[in-house]
Amino acid sequence: MTEHESLDERLERWRRVTDALEPPGGLSERIVAGVLARAARPSWMDLMVTYGRRGVVAAALAAAASLLLATASGTVDELDAEAANMEIGL
Amino acid sequence: MRQAGGDLEEAARRVARGDVSAFATLVNATSARLYRLAIKMMGSGEEAEDVLQESYARAYEALRAGRFEGAARVDSWLYRIVANQAINALRSRRRRPAVTLQNDDIVADPRQASDVRVVLRELSGWLDALPADQRAALVLRELEGLPNAEIARIMGCSEGAVEQRLVRARAALRARSEQ
């Protein structure tokens, strides 16, 4: 580097040094390991397909069960009303 | 690059068929060249490695999903992925608070390290002041030696826009050198 280095000279020096640069040891191995580990992880979409679908089925079953219970036994308000009626002997 | 183009094309086809060792072949043959591109763009060894990791992950997904159709050579295709990933990283770096650049463990040869460290510190100091698009155009033109037409293809803009970015980048650097 000189005191009066022109912009072109500076860029040329940067190019020369960076062109000669050799990457740190193990770079390729780290990249391959990282990419394969990432590929082995389930993606958000995979999780949605696997567990999301199960979640939808579970939610639908829970909703159906609540409906059956409510139909068979009445709502919480109705149960409270029945209990109150029993207390007063109705 | 150690592998001939045809070997890389064959390795890419094997990756698409699920051959993991072929992916290692692809990375071994291309990572040194692409690391130099990434470190010139980012000015930091750590960020260059992050860019490479993300780029190869995207390339791997594309190959496995059959999205690489072989219209371009594999090494040119990877080069464009890394260049674009670096541009995106530069743009998002602008939106985050400034980070202190670490240049430890950037090169294989420790004797080479101090020269490289000095240049990268200088390069970062000068280029960090430029907008991401100007910086990317300047690096691809002046440090990678690409023609404007190729830079335009990589950056998804016209050759005129590349020329304008280069003129502005050089003007900003020249103004700095005259300070």
Nearest CA in chain A to B143: A15
Q: Chain A contact for B135, CB < 8 A?
A: no
For residues B153-169, one letter each, b for 16 or more C-beta atoms within 10 angstroms of the residue's C-beta and e for the rest, the string is bbbeeeeebbeebbebb
- Predicted confidence (pLDDT) per residue in B116-131, tens digit: 888 999 999 999 999 9
Instruction: Return the domain boundaries, chain B.
Output: 4-177
DSSP state, residue B157: S
Q: Which of A10, A31, A39 sits opposite B31 (nearest CB)?
A: A31
Query: Has this prediction a pTM greater than 0.95?
Result: no
Note whether B138 and B152 are within 8 A (CB). Answer: no
- 3-class SS string, A10-53: HHHHHHHHHHCCCCCCCHHHHHHHHHHHHHHCCCHHHHHHHHHH
pLDDT given at position A5: 85
Nearest CA in chain A to B35: A23
pLDDT given at position B149: 96
DSSP state, residue B66: T
What average pLDDT does range A26-38 have in this prediction? Answer: 95
Which of A27, A43, A46 to mutate to probe the B interface, most B CBs <10 Å? A27
Q: Chain A contact for B170, CB < 8 A?
A: yes
Chain B residues close to A17, C-beta within 8 Å:
115-116, 119
CA nearest to B107, candidates B26, B44, B23, B55: B44
DSSP state, residue B140: I
Chain A residues close to B107, C-beta within 8 Å:
21-24
Nearest CA in chain B to A30: B53
Nearest CA in chain B to A34: B53
What ipTM does this complex have? 0.84
Q: Which of A7, A18, A32 sits opposite B173 (nearest CB)?
A: A7
Assign A87 a pLDDT band (cuts: 50, 70, 90). Answer: very low
User: How far is CA B133 from each of CA B41, B51, B145, rounded to the nearest angstrom?
Assistant: 11, 17, 16
pLDDT given at position B1: 45
Instruction: Tell me the C-alpha distance between B139 and A18, whole Å.
Output: 11
CA distance B85 to chain A (A): 15
Pick the residue with more confidence: A72 or A15?
Answer: A15
Note whether B42 and B106 are within 8 A (CB). Answer: no
Instruction: Give the side-chain half-sphere CA count within 13 A for B67.
Output: 8
CA distance A16 to chain B (A): 8
Kindly report the CATH number that applies to the domain delimited by B4-177: 1.20.140.160
Lookup: tokens for B113: 């390290």
The DSSP element (H or E) to which B102 belongs, if any, is: none
- Predicted confidence (pLDDT) per residue in B66-108, tens digit: 998 777 899 999 999 999 999 999 999 866 554 444 545 555 5
Helix runs in chain B, H state only: 5-16, 20-42, 45-64, 74-95, 110-127, 132-138, 148-155, 159-177
Note whether A17 and B115 are within 8 A (CB). Answer: yes
Note whether B42 and B51 are within 8 A (CB). Answer: yes
